Amino acid sequence: MFFYEYPLEKIAEVCELSGYDGVEFWIETPHYWMDRDVKKLEVLKKYTKSVHCAVLDLNPCSVNEMIREVTLKTNLSGLEIARFMECHYIIHAGKRSASREPVTEDRIASERYFRVISKAGKIKGVEILLENSEPGVNYLCRNYEEVLENARKFYFGITFDVNHALRNGDAERYAESIEMIKNIHVSSYDVNGRHVGGRFSDGVSSILEFMKNAGYDGLITVELDDLGYGKMSFHDKLRELENEREFLEKIFRN
């Protein structure tokens, strides 16, 4: 989301210039997504530590069966990208179209999606990580209990999104299942809930210290949304990434 307007070659350059060892590749990055030319992925292969599923206009528990179908097909193809990149694949549980609490039918649809994705992941040799959702009333897997229940049921790992968990009010609970967490999305949030730098948030610092002390030693992914910042130059974005990296190193390397 932070460098969405750049080609993949430039995103690979970002890793080198900002001092990061890799990137979480979002498959809807426009430079790739517009034509889905697999040859473009070669430049990012050595940098990609995880692959994030497609989310725009998609919903595995939609009341519209055609949307459910295209969501499944799209994210099964995303598994192929993760297999090519030889890394984890991150999925979301979905959300109800209406702003109402999910009902039994939504959970059945979501579990059907999980079951197929889980089986496909085993066949392709890709570990799948379920991300805890945002705090919206219509989201599935937004609280710790539901994330853990589905991760265990379908043999998923967990991507722990600090932003989402802080807004849901259950961030510290995730340390109870530290062995299942393979990736941490690090950010704070602006007034609209968008992912912005975590270094100014006492809540983010506290949770990361908590996870470190619990023994976490997996992937740590800085997740930023350019819409939370306004217009920025390439070099301004690089500096923001560097600042976040330095913030994380002080916590996890001390």
Instruction: Please state the φ and ψ torsions of residue 95, each to the nearest 5 degrees.
Output: -150, 155
- Quick check: is 138 in a domain? yes
- pLDDT > 90: what percent of the chain? 95
Chain segment 219-231, per-residue pLDDT in tens = 999 999 999 999 9
- Quick check: is 3 in a domain? no
Q: Residue 134 is part of a domain; what is its CATH number? A: 3.20.20.150
- Quick check: is 248 in a domain? yes
- Quick check: is 213 in a domain? yes
Predicted TM-score (pTM) of the model is 0.96
Compute the residue count for the chain. Answer: 254
- Quick check: is 2 in a domain? no
- Quick check: is 67 in a domain? yes
What is the number of domains present in the chain? 1
| Host domain of residue 127 | 8-252
- Quick check: is 230 in a domain? yes
Is the pLDDT at 193 greater than 80? The verdict is yes
- Quick check: is 244 in a domain? yes
Look at residue 97 in the predicted model and tell me its pLDDT. Answer: 85
Contacts of 252 (CB under 8 A, 6+ apart): 208, 212, 220
Contacts of 199 (CB under 8 A, 6+ apart): 205, 243, 244, 247
Chain segment 131-176, per-residue pLDDT in tens = 999 999 999 999 999 999 999 999 999 999 999 999 999 999 999 9
